Amino acid sequence: MEPTLLARVIPPTPGPAAELDRLGDEIADLSAHLDAATAHLLDLIREFDARGGWNTGFRSCAAWLSWRVGLDPGAARERVRVARALGTLPRLAQALARG
């Protein structure tokens, strides 16, 4: 298997296997926390959208989200779309919340 371009440009730094295992575990743990936080954020966005919290002069929940948290408008639309979709996919939403 040929190394990726990144691996050819930045060779791996040798280190004790235990240290690398710890780093890998920390990456996996943090990823699970980020997934759980993302699930919570999407729950909040879905509720805010459903309750019309954005309807104070904004054209959409995505427009409000873009303004309020500084997201690119396309990214804001995607977050709202995913938040709405997760409302119809409870098992997927639960899996995301578990990290």
Does a structural domain hold residue 9?
Answer: no
Residue ranges making up the domain that contains 93: 18-98
Residue 86 lies in a domain: yes
Question: How far is 97 from 55, CA to CA, in rounded Å?
Answer: 28
Per residue in 12-22, pLDDT (tens digit) is: 666 688 899 99
Query: Taking the model in full, what pTM does it have?
Result: 0.76
Q: Which residue from 14, 89, 13 is spatially nearest to 46, judged by alpha carbons? A: 89
Does residue 83 contact residue 49 with C-beta atoms inside 8 Å? yes
| Domain count of the fold of the chain | 1
3 DSSP 8-state letter: P
pLDDT along the chain (99 residues), means of 10: 63 76 96 95 98 98 98 98 95 89
